[in-house]
Amino acid sequence: MKESESSHRRPTLLEAIVAVVVSFACIGVGVLALGVDVHVPIVIATSFICVIGRYLLHFQWKEIEEGIFRGIMIGLQAILILMIVGMIIGAWIQGGVVPTLIYYGLSLLSPAIFLFATLLICSIVSLATGTSWGTSGTVGLALIGIAAGLGVPAPLAAGVVISGAYFGDKMSPLSDTTNLAPAVAGTTLFSHIRAMISTTMTTYVIVIIITVVLGFKFAGGTLDVSKIQAFQKLLAAEFHISLLGFIPPIVVILLAALKFPAIPSMFAGVVLGSIMILLQGSGLATMVTAIHYGYTPALSTEIAGAESLEAVSALLASKGIADVAPELAKEVGQMLSDLLQRGGLDSMMWTVSLILCALSFGGVMERCGFLEVLLEAILKHVESVTGLVTSVIIACFATNLLVGDQYTSIVLPGRMFKSAFDKKGLHPRMLSRTLEDSGTLTSVLIPWNTCGAYHTSLFGVPTLEYLPYAFLNYLNPLVAIALTAMGKFIFWRKDTDDDIITE
């Protein structure tokens, strides 16, 4: 048989289940039992699927390879944005942008309002920019620094940042997933956004209540004014704190609001951050190094690593901040060193390599038909609208687990369930809404998913530690199921897409 010819067959349900179970076993043993990074276990799982596809299903290697390339193509824009975000973080820390945001944020926030303010700030920025990743990597990172100064646990702060960032990303017309979901389902962008208001805003109100209650509970006795002042003084000693530091994030937000493309808009942040580095008095070599490898803390690391309190006192005196207690300065110096030593293009390569591995796995799974067979098996047992919505949510979450990419978790279930929604007489925006309620939001809750890996790398907080506090991300799918079960906000299609009955 010629290489160009193909006599492959469709996998059976049993074969699809075996493929999924073995893949899960490879990943689970590697990550949970051996405690290794997820990359190689995913590669092993991908290799297993390739062997099954080649010798059991009789796919030609060229076809399998095309599936890998197609899977990678889905995530190329995300990879580029990820690399740019790494450069932004390095430039914005070295240039004093992030330290400036932390400095002024510490002056304005208190533990009682911090969680609610964090949710609101990240929501607004993400709505304006259309990117949860960009929001988390800029404003979100600064808020994590403020949380450290206020004594708010990093996993809690990270979870609230993610909730706000993904709310804005999900509802913004500038977001890639917000445009992808209606395109897959067959409806318009703004019809899709209007449909999401019902489930997402209901969940958002619940999250607001949670953050306000947690904020008041957390407020008692946790505000350490001396620690906040120590943070500010050490930041001012290591960086030139100026209102100019607000210019780069404001410009990036304005560019996104003016509907400039995401990649050039984000790269503008790199350019402005580079200018800020030069304004800090650093040279071109320092600028390039920060963009490539991130920021290496100077004063804070010196203080944290000082061998004695006398040495700390001497360092503080040399910087004109002798009024900070050496013990406190050493503690705060360590926190700042841990917080600021990050960013740079190179810092994202771990995550980029994980994305490539995960997308390759997803491409092979889709090309060989395993996910398609599993989703079709689910449809056979679904009759009610609630069951249909629940099935889509489960399928999106399962695809996020198996494929490790939120784009595939929208596209693949969207393709599979579209005809089922049409047969039920449901409007396409009902499908698009459900795809985002699960596909977009649950991606960040999975350690080996591109979104989960990115945020873990960004915040330095393991995915499973911030998961309980990413309230919006796991409550939204549950709210969607509950509202559908109650017969609320179900959109029907009569003769045309615009003729909708809402129950």
**Nearest CA among 414, 411, 408, 478 for reference residue 450:** 408
d(CA 246, CA 230): 22
> Hey, what are 230's tokens?
């120590």
Residue located via tokens 């499973």: 464
- 499: how many CB neighbours lie within 10 A of its CB? 10
Alpha-carbon separation of residue 290 from 102, 278, 306, 331 (angstroms): 19, 12, 24, 25
**Contact partners, residue 114, CB within 8 Å, separation at least 6:** 146, 147, 150, 152, 157, 215, 218
Report which secondary-structure segment, H or E, holds 502. strand 500-502
d(CA 138, CA 337): 17
**Nearest CA among 110, 133, 111, 132 for reference residue 123:** 132
The pLDDT value recorded for residue 476 is 96
- What angle is formed at CA 135 by the lines to CA 150 and CA 474, rounded to 5 degrees? 80
The pLDDT value recorded for residue 503 is 42
The pLDDT value recorded for residue 221 is 46
Alpha-carbon separation of residue 403 from 154, 160, 253, 279, 310 (angstroms): 28, 26, 31, 44, 54
Confidence of residue 224 (pLDDT cuts 50, 70, 90): low
Q: What are the extents of the domains in the chain?
A: 74-295+380-497
d(CA 78, CA 56): 33
Q: Tens digit of pLDDT for each residue in 376-390?
A: 787 777 778 999 999
Q: Tell me what the mean pLDDT of segment 447-457 comes to.
A: 86
For residue 173, the one-letter residue type is P
d(CA 106, CA 364): 48
Q: Tens digit of pLDDT for each residue in 47-65?
A: 999 999 999 999 999 999 9
Which stretch of 210-224, 316-330, 334-348 has the lowest confidence by average pLDDT?
210-224
Whether 2 shows a pLDDT value over 70: the answer reads: no
Confidence of residue 163 (pLDDT cuts 50, 70, 90): very high
Contact (Cβ atoms closer than 8 angstroms) between residue 476 and residue 199: yes
Q: Tell me what the mean pLDDT of segment 335-357 comes to.
A: 83
> Hey, what are 54's tokens?
């080649």
User: What does the DSSP assignment read for 467-482?
Assistant: GGG-HHHHHHHHHHHH
Whether 496 shows a pLDDT value over 60: the answer reads: no
Whether 487 shows a pLDDT value over 80: the answer reads: yes
Whether 115 shows a pLDDT value over 50: the answer reads: yes
Q: Tens digit of pLDDT for each residue in 437-450?
A: 999 999 999 988 87
The pLDDT value recorded for residue 135 is 82
Report residue 449: phi and psi, to 5°: -70, 150
The pLDDT value recorded for residue 5 is 52
Contact (Cβ atoms closer than 8 angstroms) between residue 111 and residue 218: yes
Q: Tell me what the mean pLDDT of segment 315-329 comes to.
A: 84
Q: Tell me what the mean pLDDT of segment 246-257 comes to.
A: 84
Whether 219 shows a pLDDT value over 70: the answer reads: no
The pLDDT value recorded for residue 356 is 85
